[in-house]
Amino acid sequence: HKLDAVISMPSGVFKPYAGVSTAILIFTKTGNGGTDKVWFYDMKADGLSLDDKRQPISDNDIPDIIERFHHLEKEAERQRT
């Protein structure tokens, strides 16, 4: 298996005020070989507030994550932030 990406999600995405961090790991099944490079993304917002009500908000990193993941070859040239 090859680890392609790690997407760190904001604390409290699934359970507000619990303080539990969550990450999405994306793997590709391979017959041989392993991981060369891993793409990391630190998600700040998922389009919903991080309180009990989980109301829609304007900040949403998900479209950016999808766009960048589908063009990982360009990400290799991007400066780290």
Any domain includes 80: no
* CA distances in angstroms from 67 to 16, 34, 61, 72, listed in the order given: 27, 24, 10, 9
Whether the per-residue pLDDT at 45 is higher than 70: the answer is yes
Residue 10 lies in a domain: yes
Residue position matching structure tokens 């950016």: 64
In tens, the pLDDT along 48-72 reads 998 888 899 999 999 999 999 999 9
Is the pLDDT assigned to residue 36 strictly greater than 80?
A: yes
Give the total residue count for the chain.
Answer: 81
Domain containing 7: what range?
2-75
Structure confidence at residue 14 (pLDDT): 81
In a domain, 81, yes or no: no
5 or 74, greater pLDDT:
5
Within a domain: residue 65?
yes
pTM over 0.85: no
The verdict on residue 62 lying in a domain is yes
